Structure 1
Amino acid sequence: MSRVLARVSALLAAVLLLSLPPAQLPRAEAAALDPFTGYLMAHFTGESANGEQIYLAHSRDGLTWRDLNNGGPVLLSTLGTRGVRDPSLVRSPAGDRYWIVATDLRIASGTSWSDAANRGSTSLVVWESRDLVNWSAPWLINVAGAIPGAGNAWAPEAIYNQATGDYVVYWATNSARNGVTKHRIWYVRTTDFRTFTTPQLYIERPGGQGIIDTQIVEVANSVGGYRYYRASADGHITIEASNSVLGSWTTLGNLSHLGISNGTGGGNVVEGPMWAQFNGRDEWALWLDQYATGRGYLPITSTNLGSVNNFRTRADYNMGASRKRHGSILNLTAAEESAVLGRWGASTPVNRIQSYTHQDRYVRHANFDVRIDPNVSPAQDAQFRVVPGLAGGAGYVSFESVNYPGYYLRHYAFDFVLAANDGSPVFAADATFRQVAGLGNAAWSSFQSYNYPDRYIRHYNYLLRLDPISDAQGRNDATYRLTS
C-alpha cells in the first residue's frame, strides 16, 4: 500500500510540475559553463535599406572580427517598425537558452530622429533560441507603454540578477518627469522576456542631461573591488560600479583623460559602449562606436576596472568588412562556437550568371532592376552568392547580391527586381528556384520558379522575366551557366 501511495504521490508531483508555465518551473542550479574559446557579436550596420536588422560577427581573439553569413543579416524583424537596432545578446545562467533584445526602430523608412524619440515605438523586439542557431519568430514587449508620455524605448540590455532569480531588462525612454523631458534609463524584471513587471526608473542624470546606451558587465571575482560595472553615454562615457544590479552605484569617473566623450567633453565623440571580457584572463575591452567620425568601433582595455585610469586605447584590432553599430558581445564555449560557425561561418563562393544565347552578357542589377549586360561595371553588380533556397528544400536555390548583402533576385508580377529580404513567406517563395538541367543545353542550367513551377527565369529584350516556356527560343533564353 505504501508503494502505491508513493507512486501516486510521484505521479501527482510530475503532473503538477508539467502543468506549470515554463517561467514557473523550478530553476536548475546554473552549471559552470565550459571554457570560452571565441566571441560572437550581434550588431546592426546603419541606416541603409537592410542595415537595421540583426548581423553577426565572430572573433577568436576578441580583437579581430569576421562577418558571418557572408556579411548579410541573420535575423529580420517583421514586426513594429520592421527594423531593429542596438541588439543585446543574453544567455541564461545554465547556458541552455538565449535571447536577443533590440530597439524597434527603422530610420531608413524615412522616420525622423525627432519622431522616433518623441512618437516612436515603446516596445522592444525579442527573439529566443535554444542553440544560438535556430531562432524563434520575433515578438514585441511593450516595456515603456506604462511610462507617462513615453516617446520611445531605445538601446535595451538585459542581465541575469542572481539576487532575485530573474532578468533585469533596462533601456532608455524619452519622457517628461518633474517638468523635464529627456532620456532616462528604466527597467523591468522578467523570467521569460514575455511578461514583465511595471517599469521603474533606474538611472537619471541631474538637470537636463539625458542618458542612453547603458551596458553592465558582471565581474565574477570582483576585480577592482566591485562585482558589476556599467558604462553609459550621458555627455561623457561614465563608468560606475556596484555589488548589486539594483542597488546603489558608485561613480568611478569618465574617459575624458583619453580624449573620449559622448559630446559634452569634445574630443573623440562616441556612443554605444559595449563590454567584453577576454577569454581566460582578467582583462576587459570596452568598445566605443566612433559615430561622429564614422570610424566605427574602437576598443579600450583594462585589467582592473576599479579605476578609469586603468583604461588604455588599442590599435591592434580589425572590425571586419562591415561597419558595426551598437550591439553586444557574447563569449562562446567551443560547442557554441562550433554551432554558430557551422551555420553561418562558411563563405559561399561568388558567381556570375552567364546567358546561353548571349554569352558575352551576365545577369546584373541596375537601380534594383535586373537584366543581362556585357562589360558590367561595377563588376559586383553581376556577382551573386548561390545560397540554399529561402523556401523549399534540397535542390532549391536563391541568389543573394554580393554588394547588397541581404538582397535577392525575386520576381514581382513576373518581372525581376533586386529586393531586400523582408522575412515574409511570399518573399521567400518569390526568391526561390529549382536548379535543373538547361532547357536549351543540358550541360548548362535553368531555374524553375518555386511558387510558379510552370515558369522559368528567362531574358526578353535583355530584361529578366519569369515566363512559361513553350518554344526553342524560350528554352535558349531560359538557359544560363554559373561561372566564377
Structure 2
Amino acid sequence: MKKIFYTAILLLIVFFDVLGQSKKDVYLFAYFKNNGQDGLHLAYSIDAYKWTALKNDSSFLKPVVSKDKLMRDPCIIRGADGLFHMVWTVSWKDKGIGYASSKDLINWSEQQFIPVMAKEDGARNTWAPEITYDGKTKNYMIYWASTITGKFNETASEKEDGYNHRIYYVTTKDFKTFSDTKLLYEPGFNVIDASIVKDRGRFVMFLKDETREPAQKNIKIAYADQLTGPYSKASEPITGNYWAEGPTTAKIGKDWLVYFDKYRDHKYGAILSSDLKNWKDVSDQISLPKGLRHGTILTIKPSELNKLLKQ
C-alpha cells in the first residue's frame, strides 16, 4: 500500500513537471516525537495544511551528541551556500546544542556539539535553538532559550522547577567559528521558543510567554530592524485560551500561517493572518502526523521531495 501511495505521488510530481509547474516549492515540517530519542522526522505538504509523514514516520537521522543523545526541537534552514543547516536541543540540562548539515536532507554531516552556554557557570539549559540568515551581514544567527541562575530574579518563580528563561544568541558565517554568546531578548518575562523570520525590511520574532503566575503560556510577536535587535516590546497574545508553544511559520502568498503545539491538549493548532495583527484560527483545517512535536517548517523543491519519497 505504501509503495502504491508513493508511486502515485511521484506520478503527480512528473505531471506537474510536464505542466511547467515544477518550480513551485513544497512545504517540509521537521519535527521530533516522544522525547526526541530516535531523532529527526520529516513530513511534507503541498498546501501547508495537510501533512504526510515521510519514510513511514521513521527517523532520518539518529542523535549521537551529548550524554543524553536527544534530538528535540529540530530547526532546518536552507543556507546561502545551498546546504541545509540544522540545530536541535540535545538535552534538558546541557549547555550546548547539536548541529549538522546536509545537501539532500538524507545524508548528513558528522554531528557536532556547540557549547554555546559553556562560559555561563549558572546556565541550566539550552532549549529550542533556531537559525535565521541575515543576507545583509552574511551571518547566520543561532538563538535559543536559557535559564541562568541568579539572573532576572524579578520574574523568578518557584513553580516549574524555577526556570526563568531569556533568549540568547551567537552569530557565525561558516558554523565553525562563532561569536561570543549575547543576550538577544529580555521582554520582562520568562520567554522561550523564539522563531524569527524576515518580513520585507524588518525581522519578526514569534515567541512564547512562559509566565506561570499568573499563567500566560501563549504566543506573542516582537519586531526589530536588525536581526540581532533590539526587539520591540512583545505584542498582545495572538493565540487563544489554551497553552501554546513552539511557533513556526509558513508564508502562503501574502498570508502568514503560524503553527504551534497545544501541548496540554496533545494536539496542534494554527492561525492565519495577512497583516500580523488580525488572526483567524484555522486549527480545524490542518492535518498532521500523529505524535508530531515541536519543529520548524521550510520549503523544498519538488525534485528534493522526490528523493525523500524514495527513502
TM-score range relative to shorter protein: 0.7 to 0.9
Describe the shift of the 1:179–1:231 C-alpha distance in structure 2 as closer, same or farther (beyond 3 A). closer
Counterpart residue identity of residue 244, structure 2:
V
Q: Where does residue 283 of structure 1 map in the other structure?
A: 255
Q: Deviations over 1:17-42 (max 9, x none)?
A: xxxxxxxxxxxxxxxxx944211111
One-letter amino acid of the counterpart of residue 154, structure 1: W
| Displacement of 1:204 | 1.4
Question: Could you say if the C-alpha distance between residues 179 and 210 of structure 1 is closer, same or farther in structure 2, counting changes exceeding 3 Å?
Answer: closer
Q: Match of 2:63?
A: 77
1:302 alignment partner in structure 2: 273
Q: Is this contact kept in 2: 1:300–1:311, CA < 8 A?
A: yes
Alignment deviations for residues 255-286 of structure 1 (CA, whole Å, 9 cap, x no partner): 36x5x2xxxxxx211111111112xx111111
- Separation of aligned partners in 1, 2:269 and 2:37: 20
- Alignment correspondent of 2:51: 65
The answer to whether 1:168 aligns with 2:141 is: yes
The match for 1:269 among 240, 243, 246 is 243
The match for 2:198 is 218
CA deviation after TM superposition for structure 1 residue 179, in Å: 5.9
> Unaligned stretches of 5+ in structure 2?
1-21, 157-163, 210-215
Are the counterparts in 2 of residues 216 and 275 from structure 1 also a CA contact under 8 Å? no
Q: Quick one: distance in 1 between partners of 2:264 and 2:129?
A: 21
Are residue 103 (structure 1) and residue 89 (structure 2) matched?
yes
What is the aligned partner in structure 2 of residue 404 from structure 1? Answer: none
Alpha-carbon shift at residue 252 of structure 1 (Å): 6.2
Give 1:338's aligned residue. Answer: 306
Q: Is residue 128 of structure 2 the alignment partner of residue 140 of structure 1?
A: no
Report how far residue 82 of structure 1 moved. Answer: 1.1
TM-score normalised by structure 2 residue count: 0.82
Q: SS at the partner of 2:250?
A: strand
Deviations 1:364-391 (A, max 9, x none): xxxxxxxxxxxxxxxxxxxxxxxxxxxx
How far did 1:131 drift? Answer: 2.2
CA positional deviation for 1:178: 4.4
Is 1:204 aligned to 2:179, yes or no?
no
CA 1:167–1:153 in structure 2 vs 1: closer, same or farther (change >3 Å)? same
Structure 1 residues 62-461: aligned runs within 5 Å:
62-80=48-66, 81-94=68-81, 96-105=82-91, 116=92, 120-178=93-151, 180=153, 182-206=164-188, 209-219=189-199, 222=200, 227-234=202-209, 235=216, 236-251=218-233, 253-255=235-237, 260=240, 267-278=241-252, 281-295=253-267, 297-305=268-276, 307=277, 310-314=278-282, 315-320=284-289, 322-343=290-311
Q: Where do 5+ consecutive residues of structure 1 fail to align?
A: 1-33, 106-115, 261-266, 344-484
CA contact (8 A) 1:141 1:194 kept: no
Amino acid at match of 2:295: G
Structure 1 residues 24-75: Cα deviation after superposition (integer angstroms, max 9, x where no partner): xxxxxxxxxx94421111101123xx65521111111101001111111111
Contact 1:146/1:198, CA 8 A, preserved across alignment: no
The answer as to whether partners of 1:104 and 1:123 remain within 8 angstroms in 2 is yes
Equivalent-residue separation in structure 2 for 1:90 and 1:195 (angstroms): 18
Q: Aligned partners of 1:246 and 1:56: how far apart in 2?
A: 29
* Cα separation, 2, equivalents of 1:69 and 1:36: 22
| TM-score normalised according to structure 1 size | 0.53
Question: What's the CA shift string for 1:191-239, capped at 9, x where partnerless?
Answer: 2223211100011132xx31110001122xx3xxx53211111133111
SS at match of 2:310: helix
- The alignment's C-alpha RMSD in Å is 1.9
Secondary structure of the residue aligned to 1:340 is helix
* 3-state secondary structure, aligned to 1:269: coil
- Amino acid of the structure 1 residue aligned with 2:205: R
Structure 1 residues 248, 76: CA separation in 2 closer, same or farther (over 3 Å shift)?
Answer: same
In structure 2, distance between residues paired with 1:229 and 1:334:
28
- The more displaced of 141-150 and 55-64 is 141-150
Is 1:214–1:230's contact at 8 Å kept on the other side of the alignment?
A: yes
Amino acid at match of 1:317: I
The match for 1:37 among 4, 19, 25 is 25
Q: Measured at CA, do residues 252 and 145 of structure 1 come closer, stay the same or move farther in structure 2, by a change above 3 Å?
A: closer
Higher relative contact order (CA 8 A, sep 6+): 2
SS of 2:69 mapped into structure 1: coil
Corresponding residue SS for 2:165: strand
